[in-house]
Chains A and B, each alone.
Chain A
């Protein structure tokens, strides 16, 4: 079930009313029970067989969590149990997501030495939606218990609800038990302000998805599918539009997830903090897919030694997390290259000691307009990140390099026509207005409609819904990009 589907439009109010009705007359157990059933129903609509996987991951980490806690005094046994959880979840992920990739890469490698293997080992595997997200979430639970950051929950119902909580189940934010599980184990009561903030975020998320991402998707698809027919000017436009598409798509999803959770009295962590206004690549990673970056920092980068060792060790650690992060996105060399490219862009910033200087500030912190220096930084960072998107979007490495080659060799201006015949100027105006609006609200990613006067708020809501209608195209694939990860 997609957030932008009719099914969800029916599903959400039903669950919302039932949830608060139970909240008023029932107890926490029944409230969580309803959330769990709703979540499994939400997930099962994709393919009911996927439910067995999520259930398996839930059972394993629930039992491992309890066992680790019991064996706290015996460190070796605890470690062994932790490895059980890691091996199980990674195997799940490895089989469903990476098996064919490994087989094909092996065949390709062998063929380099002149041997030919017929590809009979590859399997027709359907990638279960959201598997990368919930396996990471369940693993983090066991890791947190092992590192004594949290205590395990004795309630299987609470734990299963934590793993399957439908707003963030299929594409995050990847929550840590210390944040989400704590809220699930406590009774929630309806909060008017929280619910209205939630609805506003849902509306803003729908705008980002249905207007920005889906609006420009046909253009991006057309340019990337036929890149060998276009000149550099069109390719630059295509990859820039893709940058906005993937941002609108994923941050839109996260906003809807966070907004929906607020309707249920649950606060999820922020996943996007206006990454397009980053002053260097390090700041970009503090603002883009925050829950994944945090996960890798806590559970991979720091255990590897982080930046505590020599510069060389730190560079190694940075390279590892970026390559793993790239690989996490998909079983394709393009994603590994994408990760590697970001590592190369990040390392100089790290060596100059500028990787944390923008941690607690936003561009033009105390002024309305950025300085010329900041403006230059924003443009440079956006250009680097956008360039890396060529790898992210291309079907194969060959396509990526062919795209880049054309970018540097076919440099002449050409007029581009929308594949469906729409006016291109509409999209340029839309993106400029979107960037300007995001710049205005850049200090608070959780309050997109912070207007003092009710009339202004009403006009903005109307305009947002109007844009959703204006940019609706029934030929566009409405699924979210990150569902494939």
Chain B
């Protein structure tokens, strides 16, 4: 029995080591560049990191990223000036674009189809409108020089809070020992990424949740609209925007009519890429997640160029 247990344990450990090697050799693991909160309270990536983002199993989506001087995934550095024509594209993971090669981003597509325009992509996964408006406010000197600002929003998810506060807990969590272990053991990161560890996590979560009574709240769309609009108003009051050069980029098909009417009434410019998506005969998102594929990104770029007459 002892021999059996010992040999099983040895084989187990050796197989794990061999798997770690295989996962590294074939680069099956994703690389997440480190994040931090800068002196202006903006959560972003640590500059000068390059790596590969991996989504799905068997390298289903393998793309290169490049974090620039300013801490954003982009093919260019951001040097706004009054003499150049510039466009800032602000948003969450859709704009951050880890699911595409950094040199084939929406910004690059816009630049390729216009002349003398520099596009600065301020994208960061998980950002909502509060983060985005805080960014414009925090870097107001730079944004004052930029000619056009396009803010990508998803309604109503990005309108859930009225006050900005940097997510210190997330940064702490990502710097915690357990995440450091995950980042260094590529097999663990890969296994976590493909979901093979989800049943273990679910089992632990279920055990914790058992016994805790869940209170369910029913939220109507009317509540959502009034809450979202109220949050939007508060944020705009806190971080005033230059309406003459700022536009919201959204999909009108998934946005409440009440909110759209509010924007129209208050002179907030809307770029609707949903109409472009609707016309497309080819898929616009990746198969295994909701991010835009190459076709989707091309259409978003076209919608921005068309609307802003770039």
Contacts and interface: CB of A to CB of B under 8 A. Distances in A.
Interface of A: 5-7, 20, 190, 192, 195-196, 199, 419-423, 426, 458, 461-462, 465-466, 469-474
Contacts of A5: 199
A421 B57 contact: no
B50 to A, nearest CB: 26
Contacts of A473: 57
9 contacts: A20-B1, A419-B287, A421-B287, A466-B19, A469-B57, A469-B190, A470-B58, A472-B57, A474-B198
A192 B2 CA distance: 9
Contact of A458 (B8, B11, B195, B288): B11
Given A423-B58, A469-B190, A474-B196, A195 B203 contact: no
Contact of B4 (A195, A419, A421): A195
Nearest to B196: A472
Nearest to A457: B11
A389 B212 CA distance: 47
Contacts of B144: none
Contact of B194 (A190, A419, A421, A472): A472
B14 A474 contact: no
B68 to A, nearest CB: 30
A-B pairs, top 7 by smallest CB distance, nearest first, are A474-B195, A421-B287, A462-B18, A6-B199, A472-B196, A190-B1, A462-B15
Contact of B203 (A6, A190, A465): A6
Contacts of B208: none
Contacts of A20: 1
Q: How large is the interface on B (under 10, 10 to 19, 20 to 34, 35 or more residues)?
A: 20 to 34
Interface of B: 1, 3-4, 7-8, 11, 14-15, 18-19, 22, 56-58, 60, 190-191, 194-196, 198-200, 203, 286-288
B286 A421 contact: yes
A6 B8 CA distance: 19
A199 B198 CA distance: 24
B296 to A, nearest CB: 14
A360 B287 CA distance: 49
Given A5-B199, A7-B203, A469 B11 contact: no
A409 B132 CA distance: 57
Given A420-B288, A472-B57, A196 B200 contact: no
Contact of B11 (A419, A461, A471, A472): A461
Contacts of B8: 199
B190 A421 contact: no
A426 B58 CA distance: 9
Contacts of B288: 420-421
Given A6-B199, A420-B287, A465 B19 contact: yes
A470 B56 CA distance: 10
Given A195-B4, A421-B56, A469-B194, 12 more contacts: A5-B199, A6-B203, A192-B3, A196-B4, A419-B287, A420-B287, A422-B56, A422-B60, A462-B15, A469-B19, A469-B57, A474-B196
Contacts of A190: 1, 4
Contacts of A426: 58
B196 A469 contact: yes
B58 A422 contact: yes
Contacts of B191: 469
A421 B4 CA distance: 42
Contact of A462 (B4, B22, B190, B286): B22
B124 to A, nearest CB: 26
Contacts of B57: 422, 469-473
A199 B11 CA distance: 12
Nearest to A210: B196
A365 to B, nearest CB: 33
B83 to A, nearest CB: 45
Nearest to A24: B1
A195 B11 CA distance: 14
A192 B3 CA distance: 8
A392 B199 CA distance: 31
A415 B88 CA distance: 41
The listed residue with most A CB atoms (<10 A of its CB), out of B1, B286, B288, is B1
A90 B64 CA distance: 62
Contacts of B199: 5-6
A465 B13 CA distance: 13
Given A195-B4, A465-B15, A421 B200 contact: no
